Amino acid sequence: MLKVFKWITFAIIFFTTILIPALLFESSFVKLGEVALSWSQDNSFYISLVVIIALTLDVFLPVPNGLTNTLAGVALGWSLASLVVWIGLTLGAIFGYLVGRIAARPLAIKMVGAQDFSHAEKAAGRIDIEGLILARPVPAFAELSTLAAGLTKMPFKKFMIVIALSNIGVAVIFSGLGAASLSAQSSLIGFVGAAILPAILYWIYKRFRA
What phi and psi values does residue 63 have, to the nearest 5 degrees?
-90, 125
| Mean pLDDT, residues 83-108 taken together | 89
At residue 8, the pLDDT reads 46
Cβ pair 111, 60 in contact under 8 A: yes
Answer yes or no: is pLDDT of 71 > 60: yes
The burial of 39, by beta-carbon neighbours within 10 Å (0-12 exposed, 13-18 middle, 19 or more buried), is given as exposed
Cβ pair 188, 23 in contact under 8 A: yes
Least confident of 29-43, 143-157, 160-174: 29-43
Tell me what the pLDDT averaged over the chain comes to. Answer: 76
Q: Of 131-145, 159-173, 191-205, which has the strongest mean pLDDT?
A: 159-173
The amino acid at 79: S
DSSP state of 103: S
Q: Of 24-28, 86-90, 128-132, 151-155, which has the strongest mean pLDDT?
A: 86-90
Q: What is the pTM of this model?
A: 0.76
Q: How many residues does the chain have?
A: 210
Query: How many CA atoms does the CB half-sphere of 192 hold within 13 Å?
Result: 15
Cβ pair 143, 96 in contact under 8 A: yes
Element (H, E) at 196: none
The amino acid at 14: F
Residues in Cβ contact with 145 at an 8 Å cutoff, skipping those fewer than 6 apart: 123, 127, 131, 132, 135, 136
- Read off the pLDDT band of 23 (50, 70, 90): very low
At residue 6, the pLDDT reads 44
| Mean pLDDT, residues 101-125 taken together | 78
At residue 157, the pLDDT reads 94
Answer yes or no: is pLDDT of 25 > 50: no
| Mean pLDDT, residues 91-114 taken together | 83
| Mean pLDDT, residues 120-145 taken together | 83
- The dihedral formed by the CA atoms of 148, 150, 152 and 153, expressed in degrees to the nearest 10: 160
- Read off the pLDDT band of 204 (50, 70, 90): confident
